[in-house]
Amino acid sequence: NADVMQNPRHLVRRRGQEARLRCSPMKGHSHVYWYRQLPEEGLKFMVYLQKENIIDESGMPKERFSAEFPKEGPSILRIQQVVRGDSAAYFCASSPFGGDPIPPFGPGTRLTVL
């Protein structure tokens, strides 16, 4: 896999539903960053994970948001009981090692909450 993959590319949820966003890193990459891009607010760091470990979740909202990166499979960003303010583009980036300053980004998932 030459690129960072994210799916779905577009996700529509009603208020109160759950949203699951998936990020498949490039082959051999074991570190993932998640970012959120809100209208008029720019990109903001959410969480940094290594396989099976959360390294930095300082940018995650305290409630309803969680992230994981299991030993096998993609990284998952989970948003429970979505609200309209969660509507945004969510991007992930992956790197093969810690300290890589320029991890490539995926194409993003655009979440719309009705």
Chain residues binding other proteins by CB under 8 A are 33, 35, 41-45, 48, 55-56, 59, 89, 91, 95, 97-108, 110
- Which one, 24 or 80, has the nearer CB to other proteins? 24
> Are the C-beta atoms of 26 and 82 separated by less than 8 Å?
no
Q: How far is the CB of 40 from other proteins (least distance, A)?
A: 8
- Which one, 79 or 108, has the nearer CB to other proteins? 108
From the number of C-beta atoms within 10 Å of its C-beta (0-12, 13-18, 19+), residue 3 rates as middle
> Are the C-beta atoms of 54 and 41 separated by less than 8 Å?
no
Q: How far is the CB of 107 from other proteins (least distance, A)?
A: 5
Q: How far is the CB of 66 from other proteins (least distance, A)?
A: 18
